[in-house]
A and B are shown apart, each in its own frame.
Chain A
Amino acid sequence: MTAIIEIRDVRKRYDEGPPALDGLNLQVRAGEALAVLGPSGSGKSTLLNMIAGLDKPSEGAVTVDGLRVDRLGEAALARYRRERIGMVFQFFNLLDDLTAEDNVLLPAQLAGVPRARARARAAELLDQLGIARHARAFPGRLSGGERQRVAVARALMNRPPLLLADEPTGALDSASAADVRELLVDLNRNGQTILLVTHDTALAASSATRTIELMDGRISRDVQTVTR
């Protein structure tokens, strides 16, 4: 299978401290569900930010879906985030003033997708993720698990080849967390490439097909866990 993420000799240094990423090399193949584990300060979030184009490496190359992300300007990065990746955050990051449906629609609207097509896709996702009945609800009225489902639906709106998830169960109770775990497994089974940053080893064990562990900005362990 082709590599959807290719990271070569990436180094990231903030100020004078030790590097957050220290000559990291990583390949992620399409269809994989990669869990990135590691203690706080190991470089997990920095790695996610590099892949999402939210931050640039001090050295090295980050290629996602054939695109050198580290070389993109602001406008191209925005386009990249719209078309190539979907992001799920620990605290959902839904816009409180928009309904669940409007939140889900946002990436398509920003990309200029025709309204009817966008609405059809949003309805399909809300239905698929079991939250169609909450389409008109504001996020404040939803449970944590439901909010995260809305966030996942939003991330998948533009059918990105890569789904990035940052501690997706970190703010959820155990029942909701299990719910989200199942959702991620289902998505991966259906071919969605996922990169998951987490402290939660249970989540990694159940949802990921491969796990890497970071320590001081380097990969200290790389384990293929499941083959789907």
Chain B
Amino acid sequence: MSALGRVVRAGVGRRRVQTVVMTLTTMMAVTASVLAAGLLVTSQAPFDHAFAKQKGAHLTVQYDGSRVTAGQVAATAHVSGVTAAAGPFPVLSLRPHVGRNKSGMPLGDHLPPMTIVGRADPGGPVDDLDLTTGRWATGAGQVVLSDENAPFGIGDRMDFPDLPGGPSLTVVGLARSVGASAEAWVSPAELTALTAPGAVPAHQMLYRFAGAGTDAQITADRAAITAAVPPGSMTGAASYLKIRLAASRASATFVPFVITFGVLGLVMSILIIGVVVSGAVGAATRRIGVLKSLGFTPAQVVRAYVAQALIPATVGAVLGVISGNLLSIPVLSQAKSAYGTGGLTVAPWIDVAVPAVVLAAVAVTALVPALRAGRLRTVEAIAVGRTPRSGRGRAVRYLLGRLPLPRPVSLGLATPFARPARSATVAAAVAFGTIGITFGVGLALSLNAIQNGLNRRTPGTVVVSAFAFAPPAPGTDPATPLVKPAVKPAAIAAKISAQPGTRRYFSTGQTRVGVAGLAGRTTVIAYEGDSSWGSYQMVAGSWFHGRGQAVVPSGFLRTTGAHIGDTITLTEGGRSAPVRIVGEALDLREEGMVILTDDSSLTALRAPVLPESVEFAIDLKPGTDPRAYLDSLNAALRPLGITAATNSGRLSGTVVAMDTLAAMLTLMLLAVAGLGVLDTVVLDTRERVHDLGVLKALGMSPRQTVTMVITSVAGVGLLAGALGVPVGVALHDHVLPVMGDAAGTRFPAADIAVYDLPVLIPLVLGGLVIAAVGAFPPAGWAAHTRTATALRTE
């Protein structure tokens, strides 16, 4: 081995703490960067990537099982333009009841109708499902649910008391279909078992086409398939383009904050690498002097020290790629839920590019102090390692020593001034961490406030729908649940009024009318009764009060260009009714193209609400037991054939995914910031170990040592926290409206202004906590370093 090689090997081997710190720093930086870059890349057209990976169906078609055979359906796979097909799979639409479960769902509650497909396995040439949890349903009584908004978890049961024998299904897995081909899957045999006597399951066929980029192409493809089966046998077809549109909107909502976190993570990693590597090489100046005195040329010295930095950095980079990919599993799983797409993975090029960039950064960062040391005269290089540091920070140390502070505290507080560049970098890392926490906390608070606002669309403790599903009658199309004729609202209102415990209620019903100046028809939600207690969360203006007033979501105002105070004209069959917009409500349904008004506003239009759309929202008197009220009301409603249900408040899967992802990313930034502080303090403590030995020899106790080391970063942490919080707040206040814009709405100001004092104070102290937690391990090490050893250290 050459002399240079020996020097490098000895340098790496002997300076173990420094080697470990460099390895740890690079590992942490690469881990964070792989995650951040992975997130940034997956946020670009996530639906398209996932759809391609899952070979999603361009068209999901359902056929009437009583009009076409499975063989005829299978033959459509050969229609011109079809490049791949899967199926036919038997399919039923059934309405399950809540069975025994650990998810807190009320036993026996009715659930909405569910499309259940019989599939022997999750794979195939089209719609290659991702099994996200558990296993595939292969046996009797087993079901796999779509993991998007699945009401149940593994082991929970769904009952079908309306079917002969009252079968029950146990959830054994959760799967994701990017093309949303079904809500549940069972084995084909189980689907047969779930089919009512005399009923015939429908056939589901999934297609991919050569040309499927536009609605027109999909329409042509559909026509070609329709022509290949008996007329009237195709009962429905869903294009992936609609799902893509919805998914793109959902993912667009996520992209701003994912990018924010990603960029923060990358910047922090680079900062920390810079401070640790330059510190580590700078600390070796005296050894460089010794090498030069032995005859090493400056170029050899530089090569030796860059190599010495690169060896642990390479080990760290490899470990970082591994840990980044491991950590990406839960993080990208949340991103996957957030984007509403299938499996996301870190792109292979990221695993190559990130370590390459980080190692290049290490090399460049090491090169600067190594060049400086290489150019030093030998005597100077030897002296730099041994003699006092430059006089930086002495004045501050002197002044702090005069303050009435315990000496370990004043010594600690003065430490950052001795190395201002390093302290500034640590402060920046902590500040970025604080920005991340502030942003993450604000995001979670805002999202929860927005979710609460959205939940106000269905106020009240109990809700009653005016229609009911019934099991399919023999010989009818089982894919279409039979809807019993809607019950007259007046009859329901009478039952509710008569019910003890009813405090107040109102009903809503939907109709579609024209709006002057707008093409097509627009949904109007008409309120009957006093709805002031159950108004939507308002973005601006006020809830409507009586006839002629309306409230609309942001999307409506944006599309029509209308403003609060404007009057719009509703039209129906040549009749018209003007309504004045008095408020802007938070509502994302139908892209905000909804009008909320009192039903009296529609009288002139003679546009009755759809009977089956009528819902009652009921508020209970204080002290009323909701369960007992529900039982009693259901007993009263039984003759009408409808049931009431508790209004448990919906928790959006998107909001849950956003919250979880934000929490994970905030933790990642915290970990990066904390490790950055730790690495820097380890380096600092090692450099000052001799001083520590002197102080301990003079009687500094372990507790005083810990106090001094922690205080050395506490001031920086507090300052960084104080700087990071306003930036985090500003970032939040900028990103939230961008997210809202992507979702097609404005958010109420109250949902954005979430940083009140009880939130801000802990956030400001967050920087201090990050610094203190990061400094604690090296502080403990400093406290327990043997004084005699420390005193011998130069």
Q: Which A residues have a C-beta under 8 Å from some C-beta of B?
A: 49, 52, 54-55, 74-75, 78-83, 87, 89, 93-99, 102, 105-107, 109-112, 115, 138-140, 154, 158
| B704 contacts partner chain A, Cβ-Cβ < 8 Å | yes
| B698 contacts partner chain A, Cβ-Cβ < 8 Å | yes
Query: Which B residues from 384 to 432 make CB contacts under 8 A with A?
Result: 387-389, 391, 393-394, 397-398, 401, 404, 406-408, 414, 418
Q: Which residue of B lies closest to A157 (CB)?
A: B698
Please tell me if the beta carbons of B397 and A98 are within 8 angstroms of each other in the complex: yes
| B495 contacts partner chain A, Cβ-Cβ < 8 Å | no
Please tell me if the beta carbons of A78 and B699 are within 8 angstroms of each other in the complex: yes
Query: Which B residues from 680 to 706 make CB contacts under 8 A with A?
Result: 690-691, 693-704
Bound Cα distance A78, B408 (Å):
14
**B697 neighbours in A (Cβ, 8 Å):** 52, 54, 81, 87, 93
Q: Which residue of A lies closest to B697 (CB)?
A: A87
Please tell me if the beta carbons of B701 and A74 are within 8 angstroms of each other in the complex: yes
Q: Contacts A78-B696, A110-B704 given: A97-B788 contact, CB under 8 Å? A: no
Q: Contacts A54-B791, A97-B397, A139-B388 given: A74-B784 contact, CB under 8 Å? A: yes
Please tell me if the beta carbons of B700 and A110 are within 8 angstroms of each other in the complex: yes
Q: How far, in Å, is B419 (CB) from chain A's closest CB?
A: 11
Q: How far, in Å, is A49 (CB) from chain B's closest CB?
A: 5
Q: Which residue of A lies closest to B396 (CB)?
A: A97
**A78-B699, A102-B397 known, 20 other contacts, Cβ within 8 Å:** A74-B783, A78-B700, A79-B701, A81-B697, A93-B697, A95-B694, A97-B391, A97-B414, A97-B418, A99-B398, A102-B398, A106-B698, A107-B698, A109-B406, A110-B407, A110-B698, A138-B388, A138-B391, A138-B394, A139-B388
Q: How far, in Å, is B705 (CB) from chain A's closest CB?
A: 9
Q: How far, in Å, is A180 (CB) from chain B's closest CB?
A: 19
| B787 contacts partner chain A, Cβ-Cβ < 8 Å | yes
CB<8 Å pairs between A and B, sample of 22: A54-B786, A54-B787, A54-B788, A55-B788, A74-B784, A75-B701, A78-B696, A78-B700, A78-B702, A81-B698, A81-B699, A87-B698, A89-B791, A93-B690, A93-B697, A95-B691, A95-B694, A97-B388, A97-B391, A97-B393, A102-B397, A110-B699
Q: How far, in Å, is B406 (CB) from chain A's closest CB?
A: 8
**B691 neighbours in A (Cβ, 8 Å):** 95
A-B complex: 4 closest residue pairs judged by Cβ atoms: A82-B699, A96-B388, A109-B407, A78-B701
Q: Name the contact of A75 in the complex, choosing from B418, B690, B703, B791 (C-beta under 8 A).
A: B703
Bound Cα distance A75, B791 (Å):
18
**A138 neighbours in B (Cβ, 8 Å):** 388, 391, 394
Please tell me if the beta carbons of B786 and A115 are within 8 angstroms of each other in the complex: no
Interface residue tally for chain B (C-beta within 8 Å): 35
Bound Cα distance A109, B403 (Å):
12
**Chain A contact surface mostly:** helix
Please tell me if the beta carbons of B701 and A93 are within 8 angstroms of each other in the complex: no
Q: How far, in Å, is A80 (CB) from chain B's closest CB?
A: 8
Please tell me if the beta carbons of B788 and A49 are within 8 angstroms of each other in the complex: yes
Please tell me if the beta carbons of A106 and B695 are within 8 angstroms of each other in the complex: yes
**A158 neighbours in B (Cβ, 8 Å):** 699
Bound Cα distance A201, B406 (Å):
42
Q: Which residue of B lies closest to A82 (CB)?
A: B699
**B703 neighbours in A (Cβ, 8 Å):** 75
Q: Which residue of B lies closest to A94 (CB)?
A: B694
**A99 neighbours in B (Cβ, 8 Å):** 398
**B693 neighbours in A (Cβ, 8 Å):** 93
Q: How far, in Å, is A145 (CB) from chain B's closest CB?
A: 18
Query: Which B residues from 732 to 749 make CB contacts under 8 A with A?
Result: none
Bound Cα distance A79, B704 (Å):
11
Q: Which residue of A lies closest to B704 (CB)?
A: A110
Bound Cα distance A158, B783 (Å):
22
Please tell me if the beta carbons of A106 and B702 are within 8 angstroms of each other in the complex: no
**A109 neighbours in B (Cβ, 8 Å):** 406-407
Query: Which B residues from 284 to 324 make CB contacts under 8 A with A?
Result: none
**B414 neighbours in A (Cβ, 8 Å):** 97
Mask: chain B, 767-794; 1 = CB below 8 Å from A; 0 = not = 0000000000000000110111001000
Please tell me if the beta carbons of A78 and B704 are within 8 angstroms of each other in the complex: yes
Q: Contacts A97-B414, A115-B404 given: A82-B698 contact, CB under 8 Å? A: yes
Bound Cα distance A94, B693 (Å):
11
**A55 neighbours in B (Cβ, 8 Å):** 786, 788
**A140 neighbours in B (Cβ, 8 Å):** 387-388
**A79 neighbours in B (Cβ, 8 Å):** 699, 701
**A110 neighbours in B (Cβ, 8 Å):** 407-408, 695, 698-701, 704
**B702 neighbours in A (Cβ, 8 Å):** 74-75, 78
Residue of B408, B694, B700, B783 contacting most chain A CB atoms (<10 Å): B694
**B393 neighbours in A (Cβ, 8 Å):** 97
**B408 neighbours in A (Cβ, 8 Å):** 110
Q: How far, in Å, is A112 (CB) from chain B's closest CB?
A: 8
**A83 neighbours in B (Cβ, 8 Å):** 699
**A87 neighbours in B (Cβ, 8 Å):** 697-698
Q: Which residue of B lies closest to A139 (CB)?
A: B388
**A52 neighbours in B (Cβ, 8 Å):** 697
**B788 neighbours in A (Cβ, 8 Å):** 49, 54-55
**A78 neighbours in B (Cβ, 8 Å):** 696, 699-702, 704
Q: Contacts A75-B703, A109-B407 given: A154-B388 contact, CB under 8 Å? A: no
Q: How far, in Å, is A154 (CB) from chain B's closest CB?
A: 7
**A102 neighbours in B (Cβ, 8 Å):** 397-398, 401
Query: Which B residues from 749 to 765 make CB contacts under 8 A with A?
Result: none
Bound Cα distance A49, B693 (Å):
13
Q: Name the contact of A106 in the complex, choosing from B391, B394, B407, B791 (C-beta under 8 A).
A: B407
Q: Which residue of B lies closest to A53 (CB)?
A: B787
Q: Contacts A54-B786, A54-B791 given: A97-B389 contact, CB under 8 Å? A: yes
Q: Which residue of B lies closest to A48 (CB)?
A: B788
Residue of A54, A89, A94 contacting most chain B CB atoms (<10 Å): A54
Residue of A49, A78, A99, A140 contacting most chain B CB atoms (<10 Å): A78
**A98 neighbours in B (Cβ, 8 Å):** 397-398, 401
Residue of A75, A78, A96, A97 contacting most chain B CB atoms (<10 Å): A97
Q: How far, in Å, is B779 (CB) from chain A's closest CB?
A: 14
**B704 neighbours in A (Cβ, 8 Å):** 78, 110
Q: Which residue of A lies closest to B696 (CB)?
A: A78
Q: How far, in Å, is A159 (CB) from chain B's closest CB?
A: 13
Bound Cα distance A80, B701 (Å):
10
**A74 neighbours in B (Cβ, 8 Å):** 701-702, 783-784
Q: Which residue of A lies closest to B700 (CB)?
A: A110
Q: Which residue of A lies closest to B415 (CB)?
A: A97
